[in-house]
Structure 1
Amino acid sequence: MIQSKIKAQLQAGYGKPKSESFDFFRIEQFFANRPKEKTNHCISDKTYQDLDFDEVFMFVDRTISKVGQQYLYARLRTIDFVDSKISQHENLTKTFQADSELREDVGIHLSNLSHQNAYYISSLFLKPHLQPPDWFWIVKILPFISAFILFLLPFYPQAFFFLFGVLTINYVIHYWNKNNVYQYIASIPQLLRLNQVAKEILKHERLNPKTDALNQAVNRLDEMGYSMSFFKLESKLQSEVGMIVEVITELLKALFLIEPLLLFRVLNQIDAKRTQIATVFHYVGMIDTALSTASLRKGLTHYCQPVITKTEKKLIATDLYHPLISNPVGNSITLVNKSVLLTGSNMSGKTTFIRTIGINCILAQTIHTCFANEFVLSPMRVFSAIRITDDLLSEKSYYFEEVLTIKAMIDESQSDITSLFLLDELFKGTNTVERVAAGKAVLTYLNKGKHIVFVSTHDIELTDYLKDTFDLYHFTEVVETDKIAFDYKLKKGNLKTRNAIRILELNGYPGEVIREARSLSEKIAPASH
């Protein structure tokens, strides 16, 4: 009955975004604590925020388990230039797309890891564990003393007083250890579930990679099942038993110090099996991520599997769109050995287009799915300088924040690995002359070698300086009799129209202001050329 209910929920939710709340603090724990040196590129917090990736993640995430959700988050924040990883993900995704029965059966098993406590599994193989104190040898002796006194009681009733004294000491140790047990009461029972879920999924021939490492990992975690089942029982007892039963069980556990002895024994076993736990965690996370990608694709009007080419400095997009915009306008662009300089007024679509490029470049290299009809790119890292603010706490001005952010990009451009640099309104925090001069110099520098730059600007002067090395594109609004309309279409070439003053007029600025602005504009425009 429960399975049929879960199956119905999975069928109803397939292809649709989640309606639940997202606990990003717990979701990001696997990514935050995992070793970073094994990846080619980690998406920085700055770039993640610039691209509004919390919102993108909430749209992309169709995982069923908390393990899969953590794994997907980490995958979207790490780019690995490993073809086999992408092909494995694509093969699994297509398997789920083609077989609804398999999809639902796996989904039912993954739902066993949908409890919030499953977020804590990753801490078992990524974080240090509690260590027994120096005096723990006493804990190993006291249960034998308790057993000996119990044996003596029928023959020597006065031994009860010794038992009472030992029990008092044991109770102190027992409740000292309670806080230790509570730290693992959520994660260890979920580890049992994780291994059971992996075993069930591996029964499907098409989902079994048949690697010795994975099968050995599952078997080795099975060996711990008896010890770890105590924590499952403890978790159940806390929620289901009555007062009398609880008092009796607490007495027995204290008398023989069952909890501290079992806890540190299990932690020692877990510590020795970190690699195996990680292997099983990655496998279940990988399966759920592929299932999530299949569901994502089902709900899209159009998408593509990107082509990742070895040709350097190449990016082609056809009907590219932003996933979070309702009724988005698709745009196309072809770049070969060039970067892009975007001009246009505010709200015309420049920044959104830059974000769209960045989001799709990341998704192409992580879940092999792009919001476009065609997307071709060379392997690349992604860096951005889009959303910059003053840092009042450290007394850094807007301009100084810009300087530090751009300097970080310049440092990254020294790498031989292709990078995509996304910039919005370079050096907004300074005067026009120095902004144009510094902007031209920085953009020329970033555009060296294999790197690709997407930059938006209001400084038309930059187009003259960069037209040989940057392709020029623009967005523009249409000013009609009494309103402003945006078509959000990317257009080739430099922006020709100037509508800023007309927009002021449409918004009711005094005639005196409009006349003076136009007069001054006519004088300044020729001088600037």
Structure 2
Amino acid sequence: MIIVVVVAIALLAAATWLLVKRSRAKSDQVLMDSFGRVRSEMIEMRYVRSYHVNALESDGQDTYIDATTWNDLSMDSIFQRINACHCSIGEEYLYHVLHDVHAPDGLLAFRTHLRTWCAEDPKSRMRLQRILEGIGRRSGSGLATYLFDPVAKRLPHEWVYKVLALLPIVALSVIPITMLVGVAMLLCFVCFNVIVAVVKGKSLESDLESLRYFSALVHGAKSIQRVFDSKLQEIASPDFAGTGEPDKGNLKDTLKAALAPYKSMRGVLPGSMHRSASELELPFLLFKAVFLSDLILYNRTVDVMIAHNTELRRLYAIIGELDVAVSTASFCASLPWHCTPSFKEEHVIVVEQGYHPLIVDPVPNSIVLDNDCIVTGSNASGKSTFIKMIAVNHILAQTLHVCCARAFSLGRAHVISSMALRDDIESGESYFMIEIRSLLRIIRECNKQRCICFIDEILRGTNTPERIAASTAVLRVLHNTESICVVASHDVELTRILERVYENYHFCEQFIGNEIVFDYKVKEGPSKSRNAIRLLEYMGFDAQIVAEAQAMLGKTENGSNTDYQS
């Protein structure tokens, strides 16, 4: 009989081991197959902004690219294209990293080291991915608030909860003296404390969830420390604390120091009175409610976060950097080609076979920019995409230290733009007012620091004579700063007026039969072609409309259209 039981247990253990092994192999295959592939599912952007918003409010730095530039360049879509992170920390950190174009050179070298490791060592990468997946995703985890302002998250009047937690014990001590009074007191105190735990716990549920996620962060960091001990020792620590100086020692020592205050914390707030629980968990949850342990432990945990906030932020950054490295390596593997950019002292941009990462079958372009330039061309010829390609790669170079190009070199500079503007109906501001505010912010920023600025269709919100005059004045002011200004425009008049101070490039098209063919290749010099009226004809507009437009154009060019009546 004993032999049968032993054999049965052995068979059960073997079957369990095989199932676990098969499940692990299947999971590893999924990780291997997904690497270098573009994710089909998109995440909700509102869930990834918390870390950056809190960092912006706390640090008060103006070194991040602003919201206008972010929206102009469709950086939400760029984020989605790059994102292959495995935990919420990585996604929030990636969103923040893509804003910080002033990351120190040492930090960029660190990111390149991690990215290369993830790309060249798939076995280690998959082990890291499994740990990051274990940390998991929590929609709007709220943990970032504890990094930057933990004092605001502390519960006031902690002594009240401690006194309430002692009352059931007092009631128990009364029972031997007077049974009836003691039992009555115990029932009252138990009921009251349970009500307090439930009511207060409901209001704190999101905060308790944040601390449960913090527990997952600590557990994941411990696993990384254990699994990659020797590898972490090989990697020099960058400036995680934001001091401008590298952290002392290697990544192993930095992670160890960051974990030290939290290493003894086990299972921070593992349960909650507001989650479904099995019958076995109910007595434990009732015990916690009676003695208000979640509320007391909550403040103790927050106190540790307050006392060791630098270590907490460093710990968050390390996990974030590791997840971002995996994501960036996967992004690079999905590209037709990419490069690690090089930085120069002089403000010169050299692009070799550069392309925009959001275009599926891109047409690459090469250019050397050591001066301001105006890019002209017909509608849909590619000029706006071209300047966005330079802008996006400039951001990627200074944040992730990678570019979508064969080669890309640049001088470090702030990135700012004025492109995808629109009327603001709610505020009552017209397009033109929004545009001149946007241009004014560019001028001010260029006077503060070296920038590369991108402007698409400057001052399109006003009449032609004033647009040309005002655009000329604005572009001359920008030329007299230390910045480089790249402008896309239909106004060929600007190319003639500013030809001595702005370089000229253009895009063009060919009409082959009834077809319009664009080669999307940048060429030197101003544009000589127009296609707006031809496009009307191509799209099937009535012949009378096309003919009248052609006639009107001829009058305008000959200066004889002043008597035209609508």
Amino acid at match of 2:117: T
- The residue aligned with 1:387 is 420
Distance 1:149 1:305, change over 3 A: same
Q: Report the alpha carbon displacement of residue 218 of structure 1 after superposing the two structures with TM.
A: 0.5
Rounded to whole Å, the distance in 1 between the matches of 2:550 and 2:314 is 67
Identity of aligned residues (%): 29
1:482 matched to 2:506: no
Structure 1 residues 230 and 424, CA, compared in 2 at 3 Å: closer, same or farther? Answer: closer
Give the superposition deviation at 1:151: 3.5
Q: 1:39 to 1:317 in 2, by over 3 A?
A: farther
Counterpart in the other structure of 2:246 = none
**Aligned partners of 1:4 and 1:117: how far apart in 2?**
28
Deviations 1:376-425 (A, max 9, x none): 1110111111111111111111111111111111111211x321111111
2:35 pairs, out of 1, 5, 14, with 14
Give matches, 1:390-405, under 5 Å.
390-405=423-438
Supply the distance in 1 between the matched residues of 2:544 and 2:90 (Cα, whole angstroms).
62
Residues 511/12 of structure 1: CA separation in 2 closer, same or farther (3 Å cut): closer
Q: Report 1:127-276 matches (<5 A).
A: 127-128=149-150, 129-134=152-157, 136-154=158-176, 156-158=178-180, 159-203=182-226, 204=228, 205-208=230-233, 209=237, 210=250, 212-223=253-264, 225-226=265-266, 229=267, 231-234=269-272, 238-242=275-279, 246=282, 248-276=283-311
Residues 509 and 264 (structure 1 numbering): CA distance in 2 closer, same or farther, change over 3 Å? closer
1:132–1:111 Cα change, 3 Å = closer
Q: 1:366 to 1:169 in 2, by over 3 A?
A: same
Is 2:307 the counterpart of 1:284? no
Structure 1 equivalent of residue 142 of structure 2: 120
Q: Is the 8 A contact 1:360 1:370 kept in 2?
A: yes
Give the aligned partner of residue 129 of structure 2: 107
Q: In structure 2, how many angstroms separate the alpha carbons of the residues matched to 1:254 and 1:232?
A: 13
Q: 1:255 to 1:68 in 2, by over 3 A?
A: closer
Q: 1:406 to 1:62 in 2, by over 3 A?
A: same
> 1:343 corresponds to which residue?
376
Structure 1: distance between partners of 2:429 and 2:62: 31
2:540 and 2:156 map into 1 onto residues whose CA distance is 75
Shift of 1:96: 1.6
Is 1:431 matched with 2:478?
no
The structural deviation recorded for 1:469 is 1.6
Deviation at 1:39, TM superposition (A): 5.6
- Aligned partner letter, 2:443: I
* Alpha-carbon distance in structure 1 between the residues aligned to 2:195 and 2:30: 48
Contact 2:455 2:487 in 1 (8 A): yes
Question: Which residue of structure 1 lines up, in the alignment, with residue 350 of structure 2?
Answer: 316
Could you report, residue by residue, the CA deviation over 1:50-100 in whole angstroms, capped at 9, with x for unpaired residues?
A: 111111111111222211111111000111251101111111111222211
- Report deviation, 1:251: 3.9
Q: Deviations over 1:256-296 (max 9, x none)?
A: 33333222222222222222211111001111111211111
Structure 1 residue 311: deviation in Å? 1.3
Alignment-derived partner of residue 75 in structure 1: 97
Q: Secondary structure at the match of 1:422?
A: strand
Aligned partner of 2:395 among 362, 365, 376: 362
Counterpart residue identity of residue 200, structure 1: S
Does residue 503 in structure 1 map to residue 538 in structure 2? no
Task: Give 1:252 deviation, angstroms.
Answer: 2.6
2:377 is equivalent to residue 377 of structure 1: no
How do residues 11-90 of structure 1 correspond to structure 2 at under 5 angstroms? 11-35=32-56, 37=59, 41-90=63-112
Deviations 1:325-350 (A, max 9, x none): 121111111112x1120111111111
CA, structure 1 residues 59+255, in 2 after alignment: closer, same or farther (shift >3 Å)? closer
CA distance in 2, matches of 1:17, 1:409: 34
Q: How has the CA–CA distance of structure 1 residues 146 and 13 changed in structure 2, closer, same or farther, with 3 Å as cutoff?
A: same
Distance 1:523 1:61 in 2: 53
CA contact (8 A) 2:194 2:289 kept: yes
Shift of 1:509: 4.0
Matched, 1:334 2:334: no
Q: Kindly tell me: are residues 100 and 133 of structure 1, through their superposed partners in 2, closer, same or farther at Cα, counting changes over 3 Å?
A: closer
Superposed counterparts of 1:459-478, under 5 Å: 459-478=491-510
* Aligned mates of 1:484, 1:426 — CA distance in 2: 26
Q: 1:456 and 2:488 equivalent?
A: yes
Q: Separation in 1 of the partners of 2:337 and 2:160?
A: 67
Q: Which segment is superposed worse, 269-278 or 355-364? A: 269-278
Task: Say which is worse superposed, 451-460 or 516-525, in terms of deviation.
Answer: 516-525
**Cα pair 1:463 1:494 within 8 Å, conserved:** yes
CA distance in 1, matches of 2:190, 2:436: 67
Tell which deviates more after alignment, 178-187 or 35-44. 35-44
Instruction: Say which SS state the counterpart of residue 414 (structure 1) adopts.
Output: helix
Deviations 1:10-67 (A, max 9, x none): 1011101223331211111101111464766211111111111111111111222211
Shift of 1:118: 8.0
The counterpart of 1:301, out of the listed 318, 331, 336, is 336
Tell me, yes or no, if the aligned pair for 1:171 and 1:254 is still in contact at 8 Å.
Answer: yes
Matched to 2:77, the amino acid is E
Taking a change above 3 Å as real, the CA distance of residues 30 and 130 of structure 1, as seen in their structure-2 partners, is: closer
Give the AA of the match of 1:349.
G
CA deviations on 1:126-163 (whole Å, 9 max, x unpaired) are: 244444444x4343233333213223425532221222
**Residues 133 and 283 of structure 1: is their aligned pair in 2 closer, same or farther, counting only changes over 3 Å?**
closer
Give the aligned residue type for 1:459.
D
The answer for unaligned runs of 5 or more in structure 1 is none
- Quickly say closer, same or farther: Cα 1:348–1:152, change in 2 above 3 A: same
Q: Report if aligned partners of 2:504, 2:526 keep a CA contact under 8 Å in 1.
A: yes
Provide closer, same or farther for how the CA distance between residues 100 and 316 of structure 1 changes in structure 2, counting only shifts above 3 A.
same
Contact 1:321/1:331 (CA < 8 Å) preserved in 2? yes
How many residue pairs get aligned? The number is 518
Q: Do the aligned partners of residues 252 and 422 (structure 1) sit closer, same or farther apart at CA in structure 2, a change above 3 Å counting?
A: same
- Point out the more displaced range, 166-175 or 487-496: 166-175
Cα distance in 2, alignment partners of residues 86 and 391 from structure 1: 38
Shift in alpha-carbon separation, 1:174–1:240, aligned structure 2, 3 A: closer
- Cα 1:509–1:66 shift into 2, 3 Å: closer
Pair 245,429 (structure 1): closer, same or farther in 2 beyond 3 Å: closer
In structure 1, the residue matched to 2:478 is 446
Contact 2:86–2:137 under 8 Å retained in 1: no
Does the residue aligned with 1:78 lie in a helix, a strand or coil? coil
Number of the residue aligned with 1:522: 554
